[in-house]
Structures are given as C-alpha cells and as structure tokens.
Amino acid sequence: MPYLAELLTGLATTLELTVVSLLLGGVLALLLTWVLEQKIPVLRQLTECYLLLFTGTPLLVQIFLIYYGPAQFDWLKHSWAWEWLKQPWFCAVLALGFNTAAYSTRLFKGALDAVPSGEVLACKALGMTAWQTLSVKLRQALRRAVPGYSNEVILVLKGSSLASTITIMDVMGIAQRLQGQTYDTLGVFGTAGLIYLVFNGALTLLFRLLERRVLAFQLSR
C-alpha cells in the first residue's frame, strides 16, 4: 500500500472533524429533545422546521450552503462572524454538527417515547418533579438509544469525507490530491476506503461492548 502513510496524515483531521461535530450535535440534540419533550408551542414548531430542513436535504448541499452562502451577503462579510465563516474547517463542523443534531434528536425523542407510560405515572405517583421524572425516562431510554446512536456516529465519520469538497485535507482530501497526481484511482481510493473501513469496524465493536454494559446495568437494577 504505497499511499497508506500519506493518507494517514489526514486521519487526524478526519477524527477531529468527527469528534467536534458529534459534540456539537450531541449538545444541540439534547436541547432540541428537551424542547420537544416539554411541548413549548413556538419553540416546538421551530424545532420541527429545523429537523425537516436538515433531515430532508443532502449533507453535501448543507456544506455548500454554509460555506459558500455567507459570501453572498456583504454585511455578513464585514461582520465579526466572517472571521469564522470563511474558514472551511469551521463550516464543515457546523454542517456536520447541525446535520447529526437533527437525526440524533429524532433518535432521542423516539427512545423517550418508547419508555412505558406506566413508569412515568409511577414517578408522578411518588411525587417526583418534572426533572426527576425526565431523569428516570432518560435512564430507561439510554438502552434503546445506544444502538441507533452508534450508527449515527459511523455516519458522521463517513460523512466527514464530504468536507474534502471545500478544500479540507482530511483522508479523502489527500486521496483526491494523490489521485490527481498519480491517476491511480483504484489504489488511492481503495486505500482510503480501507482506512474508513478499519475505523468504522473498530467503532462498531466499541459500541457493541457499550451496549452490553448498558444492558447489563439495566438488568441489574
């Protein structure tokens, strides 16, 4: 594999994009899930529009809009925000983070809705506050959410490859540069695909272990 060493130089950028995007998306998803759970009228409608926008359009379109879109507004180019919005890495994180937040919100809300209503009624009968009841629901929803969220993490890792379309030198960005230099499409992209395959496989095994631990914890209670 003559290209492996050079492609691995972009691995840090790929993993950095993935981790930061997941952190941003996770925080947003928890906030949006709380909004949906509390059923606050105006905020709920805005959240539903957000979810529809980011789950109903391709990630690549979102990356292009966030990266190229702000440059169409002169007032934005002269604002403090332009120092951030002109950076490809920051725009890629925003797109990936906003995208995974939408899908994670759907996942978290579905897991909460799957909690038996009898447990909620029992919490109310015991005089628990709304926050205490939500805490109980979250613990029960955790086991249901882990398998689906593991898939989302893998999708974000694979989706980070689209950041190469806005000049980011991650694994795929370096692969595109090498292919342009060598024209060895099969060798270059085959090696890049292998790198993603190995890391996705490792993540799958890691989440399976986590699922077993969560399940064991739930059964021991």
Whether residue 37 is predicted with pLDDT greater than 90 in this model: the reply is: no
Q: Are 183 and 104 in contact (CB under 8 A)?
A: no
Domains and CATH numbers, the chain: 6-220 (1.10.3720.10)
Q: What is the mean pLDDT of residues 138-156?
A: 84
Q: What is the mean pLDDT of residues 111-135?
A: 77
Query: Which residues does 208 contact at the CB level (< 8 Å), separation at least 6?
Result: 150
Whether residue 214 is predicted with pLDDT greater than 80 in this model: the reply is: no
- pLDDT at residue 106, rounded to an integer: 93
Q: What is the mean pLDDT of residues 30-39?
A: 88
Neighbour-count burial of 177, counting CB atoms closer than 10 A to its CB (0-12 exposed, 13-18 middle, 19+ buried): middle
For 40-74, what is each residue's pLDDT tens digit? Answer: 889 999 999 999 999 999 999 999 999 999 989 88
For 67-102, what is each residue's pLDDT tens digit? Answer: 999 989 889 888 898 999 999 999 999 999 999 999
Share of the chain above pLDDT 70, in %: 96
Query: Which residues does 188 contact at the CB level (< 8 Å), separation at least 6?
Result: 3, 7, 175, 178, 179, 182
Whether residue 219 is predicted with pLDDT greater than 50 in this model: the reply is: no
Q: Is 25 or 115 the better-scoring residue by pLDDT?
A: 25
Residue 28: band (very low, low, confident or very high) from pLDDT cuts 50, 70, 90: very high
Q: Is the dihedral of CA 125, 131, 135, 141 positive or negative?
A: positive
- pLDDT at residue 65, rounded to an integer: 96
CA distances to 10, 43, 85 from 29, rounded to whole Å, are: 28, 14, 22
Cβ neighbours of 33 (radius 10 Å): 24
